[in-house]
């Protein structure tokens, strides 16, 4: 069974994963334009992109425990998931800045003044060098330092989880579940993280 | 009563339903390329206000007892039994007791009020409510001299309200007004929208509407009204006092820690609509500023 999954995964080129997981971006945008996201489409669009970004970051965190505990090997797609997550974070940021906040002065003010936005922005900034080095040339060039650098994901995903908990009104279940999953996945790496 | 509120928006200002939907389709097409720069400038004149479509008002709600998503209340609130309904009026009143909703409706005169509605999340709507002045209901119970505040409570029915299974807030939802705010002619108890019975997701059978305050002050599905001499607790203030004050007047100058209140998105404007500047007291400054004379609205936010 596991061998068959691994064999199938080997046959799937990464561009197929890119294509499939990018589809929600234009589709959600189309929904927002056509009234499919309700009468106030900016917020749902912004939230949807942010939510997908967080899901993809979490999916990326699942890759190595999956291999370790079940021997399902999806390591080939880990970078793909990371780049896709960054893409959705960037879309989330663009919708927020251009369609929601709308003025550059207020974007800067919000980043400085509102801690949950500061945290979200910090997460984006941490992901930036990771996205820039997600190519074969950088992997070869950086060598062992590449793995070290890409551990920034762990911090970025926690910031993303905190950003989500903080932005909702009152205590809501959904962001707490995300955070629990994130912390559980990081806990599985506890020993490796200490090294 | 000092004076009765005169509505400057009338039924003539309400866009006929079909025409409104047509116009929205047109606008959606235009907005993408042209932008709505011309429409968005300056203050919102009353006569250019366009009430939101019935669907927007009834499908886009915050009513956490039925879920925290904007569409959840419309999906879940059908389970709420709103008839029969009784409202307990107690505390510092001459005639405390359980008032049947049917008797309240018989005693009150329903009128239409087209009000701006501004949520603390920085979105807004224009809603044609039907209802009666809270002052008239309080007069029915006979407010005693020592009363200074009015406390309200929402129904708490775990069997009918799926949202209360999770402690998003400390249930039941409670709210309060100072007595002069409660007696102000702008303050109404809404029992309808667009001439129809108010849907459950909007707070059936009877909700408060205080148009110069953030939407969460306008408590829904009221089961209890208590006259007191002490400032009553309010749900959002209990949840996060730093962010939600007792007064919660719409005020573009007092920034909420998480959302700037200087501008707002008009619900129904589409993806590319420009934000509108928020008006002091949500545009009712002339009518209500006097209530807060001498008060520091930054401290009493």
pLDDT in tens, B220-272: 999 999 999 999 999 999 999 999 999 999 999 998 888 889 999 999 999 99
Q: Indicate whether B11 belongs to any domain.
A: no
- Nearest CB partner across the interface for A114, out of B123, B258, B267: B258
Q: Report whether pLDDT(B32) > 50.
A: no
Mean pLDDT across B156-181: 97
Give the closest-approach CA distance of B120 to chain A in angstroms: 10
As annotated, the binding site of B includes 61, 64-65, 119, 154, 202, 207, 218-220
- Nearest CB partner across the interface for A38, out of B28, B60, B168: B60
Residue reference for tokens 């209340």: B73
**pTM of the complete model beyond 0.90:** no
Task: List CB contacts (< 8 A) between B256 and chain A.
Answer: none
3-state SS string over chain B? CCCCCCCCCCHHHCCCHHHHHHHHHHHHHHHHHHCCHHHHCCCCCHHHCCCCCHHHHHHCCCCHHHCCCCCHHHHHHHHCCCCCCEEEEEECECCCEEEEHHHHHHHCCCEEEEEEEECCCCEEEEEEEEEEEHHHHHHHHCECCCCCEEEEEECCCCCCCHHHHCCCCCCCCEEEEEHHHHHCCCCEEEEEECCEECCHHHCCCCEEECCCECHHHCCCCEEEEEEECCCCCCHHHHHCCCCCCCCCECCCCCCCCCCCCCEEEECCCCCCCCCEECCHHHHCHHHHHHHHCCCCCCCCC
Q: Indicate whether B263 belongs to any domain.
A: yes
In this structure, what are the phi and psi dihedrals at residue B88, rounded to the nearest 5 degrees?
-85, 125
> How many CA atoms lie within 13 Å of B114's alpha carbon, on the beta-carbon side?
20
Our count of domains for chain B comes to 1
Rounded Cα distance between B23 and B45, Å, is 20
Q: Which of A96, A169, A174 to mutate to test the interface with B (most CBs of B within 10 A)?
A: A169
Domain that includes residue B133, residue range: 17-28+49-291
Q: If you measure CA to CA, which chain B residue comes closest to A118?
A: B258
Mean pLDDT across B93-97: 98
Rounded Cα distance between B140 and B103, Å, is 11
In this complex, do B64 and A170 lie within 8 Å of one another by their Cβ atoms? yes
Better-scored residue on pLDDT, B34 or A121: A121
In this complex, do B265 and A100 lie within 8 Å of one another by their Cβ atoms? yes
In this structure, what are the phi and psi dihedrals at residue B265, rounded to the nearest 5 degrees?
-100, 130
- Nearest CB partner across the interface for A171, out of B52, B167, B255: B167
Interface of A with B in 11-40 (CB under 8 A): 32-35, 38-40
Q: How confident is the model at residue B38 (pLDDT cuts 50, 70, 90)?
A: very low
Residue reference for tokens 């990018």: A22
Q: How confident is the model at residue B34 (pLDDT cuts 50, 70, 90)?
A: very low
In this complex, do A39 and B52 lie within 8 Å of one another by their Cβ atoms? yes
In this complex, do B267 and A40 lie within 8 Å of one another by their Cβ atoms? yes
For residue B166, what are the contacts with CB-CB under 8 A and spacing of at least 6? A171, A172, A173
Q: How confident is the model at residue B45 (pLDDT cuts 50, 70, 90)?
A: very low
Task: List CB contacts (< 8 A) between B28 and chain A.
Answer: 33-35
Rounded Cα distance between B113 and B111, Å, is 7
Provide the CATH number for the domain around residue B201: 3.90.420.10
Task: List CB contacts (< 8 A) between A36 and chain B.
Answer: none
Q: How confident is the model at residue B11 (pLDDT cuts 50, 70, 90)?
A: low
Q: CB contacts < 8 Å between A and B, how many?
A: 66
Q: Indicate whether B5 belongs to any domain.
A: no
pLDDT the model gives residue B219: 98
Angstrom CA distances, B116 to B57, B186, B191, B192, stand at 12, 11, 17, 15
Angstrom CA distances, B145 to B61, B136, B193, B217, B290, stand at 37, 16, 34, 24, 21
In this complex, do B55 and A39 lie within 8 Å of one another by their Cβ atoms? yes
B204 neighbors B82 (Cβ within 8 angstroms): yes
Q: How confident is the model at residue B4 (pLDDT cuts 50, 70, 90)?
A: low
Q: Indicate whether B9 belongs to any domain.
A: no
In this complex, do A40 and B59 lie within 8 Å of one another by their Cβ atoms? no
Q: If you measure CA to CA, which chain A residue comes closest to B272?
A: A99
In this complex, do A39 and B274 lie within 8 Å of one another by their Cβ atoms? no
Q: If you measure CA to CA, which chain B residue comes closest to A116?
A: B258
Interface of B with A (CB under 8 A): 28, 32, 52-53, 55-56, 59-60, 64, 68, 70-71, 121, 123, 166-169, 239-240, 255, 257-258, 260, 262, 265, 267-268, 270-272, 274-275
Give the closest-approach CA distance of A151 to chain B in angstroms: 30
Q: Indicate whether B176 belongs to any domain.
A: yes
Rounded Cα distance between B84 and A72, Å, is 59
Q: Indicate whether B10 belongs to any domain.
A: no
Task: List CB contacts (< 8 A) between B51 and chain A.
Answer: none
Mean pLDDT across B26-49: 43
Q: How confident is the model at residue B22 (pLDDT cuts 50, 70, 90)?
A: very low
Taking the domains of chain A in order of start, what are their residue ranges?
2-194
Task: List CB contacts (< 8 A) between B123 and chain A.
Answer: 40, 43
Q: Report whether pLDDT(B206) > 50.
A: yes
Q: Indicate whether B138 belongs to any domain.
A: yes
A75 neighbors A106 (Cβ within 8 angstroms): no
In this structure, what are the phi and psi dihedrals at residue B224, rounded to the nearest 5 degrees?
-150, 135
Q: Indicate whether B41 belongs to any domain.
A: no
In this complex, do B32 and A33 lie within 8 Å of one another by their Cβ atoms? yes
Rounded Cα distance between A130 and A135, Å, is 10
In this structure, what are the phi and psi dihedrals at residue B54, rounded to the nearest 5 degrees?
-55, -40
Q: Report whether pLDDT(B39) > 50.
A: no
Return the H-helix or E-strand segment holding A16.
Answer: helix A14-22
Low-confidence ranges of chain A (pLDDT < 50): none
Q: How confident is the model at residue B3 (pLDDT cuts 50, 70, 90)?
A: low
């Amino acid at each position: 069974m596991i061998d068959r999954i691994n064999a199938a995964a080997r046959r799937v080129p990464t561009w197929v994963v890119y294509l499939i997981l990018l589809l929600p971006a234009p589709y959600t945008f189309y929904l927002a334009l056509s009234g499919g996201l309700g009468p106030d489409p900016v917020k749902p669009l912004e939230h949807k992109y942010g939510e997908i970004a967080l899901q993809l970051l979490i999916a990326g965190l699942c890759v190595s425990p999956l291999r370790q505990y079940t021997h399902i090997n999806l390591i080939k797609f880990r970078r793909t998931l990371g780049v896709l997550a960054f893409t959705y974070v960037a879309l989330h940021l663009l919708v927020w800045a251009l369609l929601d906040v709308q003025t550059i002065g207020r974007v800067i003010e919000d980043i400085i003044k509102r801690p949950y936005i500061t945290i979200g922005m910090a997460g984006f900034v941490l992901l930036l060098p990771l996205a820039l080095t997600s190519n074969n040339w950088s992997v070869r060039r950086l060598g062992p330092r590449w793995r070290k650098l890409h551990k920034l994901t762990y911090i970025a995903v926690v910031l993303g989880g905190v950003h989500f908990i903080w932005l909702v009104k009152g205590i809501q279940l959904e962001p707490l579940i995300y955070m629990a999953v994130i912390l559980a996945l990081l806990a599985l790496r506890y020993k490796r993280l200490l090294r | 009563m000092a004076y009765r509120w005169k509505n400057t928006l009338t039924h003539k200002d309400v866009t006929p339903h079909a025409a409104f939907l047509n116009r929205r389709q047109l606008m959606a097409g235009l907005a993408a390329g042209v932008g709505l720069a011309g429409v968005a400038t300056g203050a919102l004149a009353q006569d250019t206000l366009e009430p939101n479509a019935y669907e927007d008002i009834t499908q886009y709600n915050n009513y956490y007892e039925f879920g925290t998503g904007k569409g959840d209340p419309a999906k879940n609130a059908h389970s709420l039994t709103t008839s029969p309904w009784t409202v307990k009026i107690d505390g510092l009143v001459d005639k405390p007791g359980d008032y049947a909703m049917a008797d309240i409706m018989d005693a009150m005169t329903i009128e239409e009020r087209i009000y701006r509605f501004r949520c603390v999340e920085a979105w807004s709507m224009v809603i044609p409510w039907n209802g009666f002045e809270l002052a008239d209901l309080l007069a029915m119970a006979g407010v005693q001299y020592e009363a200074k505040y009015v406390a309200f409570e929402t129904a708490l029915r775990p069997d009918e309200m799926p949202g209360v299974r999770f402690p998003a807030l400390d249930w039941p939802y409670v709210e309060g007004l100072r007595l002069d705010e409660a007696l102000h002619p702008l303050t109404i108890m809404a029992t309808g929208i667009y001439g129809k019975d108010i849907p459950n997701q909007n707070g059936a059978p009877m909700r408060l509407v205080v148009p110069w305050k953030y939407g969460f002050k306008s408590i829904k599905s009221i089961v209890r009204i208590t006259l007191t001499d002490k400032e009553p607790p309010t749900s959002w203030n209990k949840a996060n006092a730093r962010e939600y004050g007792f007064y919660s007047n719409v005020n573009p100058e007092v920034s909420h820690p998480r959302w700037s209140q200087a501008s707002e998105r008009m619900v129904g404007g589409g993806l590319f609509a420009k934000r509108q500047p928020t008006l002091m007291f949500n545009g009712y400054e002339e009518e209500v500023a006097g209530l807060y004379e001498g008060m520091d609205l930054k401290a009493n936010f």
